[in-house]
Amino acid sequence: MTAAGAESVHTVSDLALRVKRSLDGAFDSIWVKGEVSNFRAYSSGHWYFTLKDSEAQLKGVMFSRDNRKLRFRPDDGDEVLVRGRVDVYTPRGDLQVVARHLEPLGAGQLQKAFEALKARLAAEGLFDADRKRPIPRVPRRIGIVTSEKAAALQDMLRVFESRDPTLAITLSPSRVQGEGAGREIAAALDLLGRYSDVELILCGRGGGSLEDLWAFNEEVVARAIVRCPVPVISCVGHEIDFTISDFVADLRAPTPSAAAEVAVPVRADLEAAVRARVQRLSGAVLRELARRQRRVGELRSRLITPRRRVDLAAQRLDDVRLRLARATELSITLRRQRLNAATGRLRALAPRRDLVAARARLARTEHALVTAHAVGLRARRQRLEVARRALYALGPLQALARGYALARTMPGREVLRDSAQVSVGDAIQVRLAQGALDCRVEGVTGPQPPEPPDPVQLKMGTRRTT
């Protein structure tokens, strides 16, 4: 019996589940502060990190449904305050805190979050000048995104009324401070962007602290300004206040009143400018009309009657005919002179005499050619006869006429030069000078050694060799 026999034995998963159940409700809403390390943001939107201090560390997770509400994104080394519940992740047995809220600790954390978001959006090119659109010179309808109770709205309306009472205005109200204000501002911008007659949007509020203006530092507002199809002027706070919306907007105004002045020109000034331009245009038209009338008068004075025009044309035609007749006569005279000169040179050449001499040379050449051909033919015939006689004298038929015979094998007609080529009983054919004999070998005799030559006496000087 084992040592654990008296006690119940738990599996690992069962033990982890019991620990998880024991923690449920016990630490459902607690605050934990610590330093963030190993921070990872997954494509699903969930955040995973480790909270640690000098003596311990704890796994942490914050799901996308909760972290999308935050104003900033933590990084390794940040001191944060987390509110959530303690839980056990049973597949690994990790004790972790599931964060529902997260905020930075220490002075300057909001400014740090501001700088981090600013750097990230700048890296994406959202602050580039070439991305920003021009502001319409004289908009007919302006959209405003701000709180309907804000003093900034009344300031802008007073400026609009004083500069152009006929201007059409569309207000898309939104909270500009507090939790969720950023999403409301983004929704108001999207709504105004769908109005086809809105040509310009002013988005902003009056001054305040960094926390009061934080809604305009949220990424959701920056993205809404970027995707808005209508140019946007950002007018948040006072002249010294800067927000993320100021950097992504097509134009930044230091205050809401200044934005209204930039967006709408003074109607009286426009009307005065139009009147001045009309006067300048009228003067220019009258001056151009007078100049053209003078030009017409000058041209009319230079006009001549049709009869006079016909007479001038007839006179020019007579002049052309006279010059043409003279030129034709001169050309004929020059051509006649060149013809006479060519005729004289042709007669001096006497082609008939050259033809007689050429025929004589041709006859001599023909006679010489015939003679050379005949001589060459006789010489070739003589050489041929000499070669024929020599060939006949060396031919095999002459040897057969002297009593020699030519033996060949019967199947292959191979000439016999050696007795080793046949055996006893082989059939052979013997060619004579006249006719041939079909024979059969009765015996074979090998080649006989040559007989030594008879001694010859040679006389060389005073010596004698035998």
Among 265, 297, 327, where does a domain finish?
265
Whether the per-residue pLDDT at 1 is higher than 50: the answer is no
- Same domain? For 214 and 163 the reply is yes
Both 132 and 83 in one domain: the answer is no
Mean pLDDT of 19-35: 75
Q: Are 137 and 253 in contact (CB under 8 A)?
A: no
Residues 181 and 202 in one domain: yes
Task: List, for residues 153-167, the tens digit of each pLDDT value.
Answer: 999 999 999 888 888
Cα(439)–Cα(409) distance, integer angstroms = 10
- CATH number at 17 reads 2.40.50.140
On whether residue 396 sits in a domain, the answer given is: no
Q: Is 23 exposed, middle or buried (0-12, 13-18, 19+ CB in 10 A)?
A: middle
Looking at the structure, do residues 131 and 254 belong to the same domain, yes or no?
yes
Structure confidence at residue 332 (pLDDT): 92
| Overall pTM > 0.75 | no
Say if residues 259 and 142 touch (Cβ distance below 8 Å). no
Residue 349 tokens, joined: 């050449």
Same domain membership, residue 151 and residue 32:
no
Closest CA to 162 of 275, 273, 268: 268
167 CB contacts (<8 Å, ≥6 apart)?
A: 139, 140, 141, 142, 160, 264
pLDDT per residue over 48-99, tens digit each? 999 888 788 889 999 988 888 776 788 887 788 888 888 877 777 778 888 9
- Greater confidence, 237 or 119? 119
Final residue in a domain of this structure, among 106, 136, 166:
106
Structure tokens at 152: 């900034």
The predicted pLDDT at position 184 comes to 93
Question: Is the confidence at residue 371, as pLDDT, over 60?
Answer: yes
pLDDT-derived band at 144, boundaries 50, 70, 90: very high
Is pLDDT at 141 greater than 80 in this prediction? yes
DSSP H or E segment with residue 30: strand 30-41
Task: Please report which confidence band the pLDDT of residue 149 belongs to, taking 50, 70 and 90 as the band edges.
Answer: confident
99 plus 195 within the same structural domain: no
Q: Same domain, yes or no, for 312 and 247?
A: no
What's the whole-number average pLDDT of the chain? 83
Angle subtended at Cα 418 by Cα 416 and Cα 422, rounded to the nearest 5 degrees: 70
What is the pLDDT at residue 223?
92
* Residue count of the chain: 466
Task: In whole angstroms, give the CA distance from residue 398 to residue 409.
Answer: 22
Do 169 and 134 share a structural domain? yes
- Count of alpha carbons within 13 Å of 41, Cβ hemisphere only? 8
Higher pLDDT, 242 or 352: 242
Q: For residue 446, tell me if it sits in a domain.
A: no
CA angle at 413 for the pair 411 and 419, rounded to the nearest 5°: 90
- pLDDT score, position 358: 84
H or E segment and range at residue 264: none
pLDDT of residue 23: 67
pLDDT of 466 reads 37
Query: Which of 36-45, 284-293, 342-351, 364-373 is least confident?
Result: 342-351
What confidence score (pLDDT) does residue 199 get?
92
pLDDT of residue 415: 83
318 shares its domain with 227: no
237 falls in which pLDDT band (50, 70, 90)? confident
413 belongs to a structural domain:
no
| Number of domain units in the chain | 3
Domain end position, chosen among 106, 139, 169 = 106
H/E stretch holding 343 reads helix 306-349
Angle at 86 between CA 80 and CA 87, to 5 degrees: 130
- Closest among 241, 190, 191, 197 to 220, alpha carbons compared: 190
Output the DSSP codes for 375-421. Answer: HHHHHHHHHHHHHHHHHHHHSHHHHHHTT--EEEETTT-PBP-SGGG
Q: Is the pLDDT of residue 252 over 80?
A: yes
Question: Quick check: is 375 in a domain?
Answer: no
Torsion of CA 149, 150, 151, 153, to 10 degrees: -90
137 by DSSP, 3-state: which?
A: coil
Q: Is residue 417 part of a domain?
A: no
Structural domain boundaries, residue 192 = 116-265
91 and 71 within one domain: yes
Are residues 120 and 83 part of one domain?
no
Check whether 301 has a pLDDT greater than 90: no
Q: Alpha-carbon distance 439 to 428, whole Å?
A: 5
pLDDT tens-place string over residues 429-465: 888 878 888 899 888 887 777 666 665 555 444 444 4
One domain, residues 138 and 261: yes
Phi, psi dihedrals of residue 235, rounded to the nearest 5°: -140, 85
| Rounded mean pLDDT, 166-189 | 90
Q: What pLDDT was estimated at residue 220?
A: 92
Quote helix, strand, coil % in the chain, to nearest 5.
Answer: 45, 20, 35
Task: Provide the terminal-to-terminal Cα distance of the chain, rounded to the nearest Å.
Answer: 138
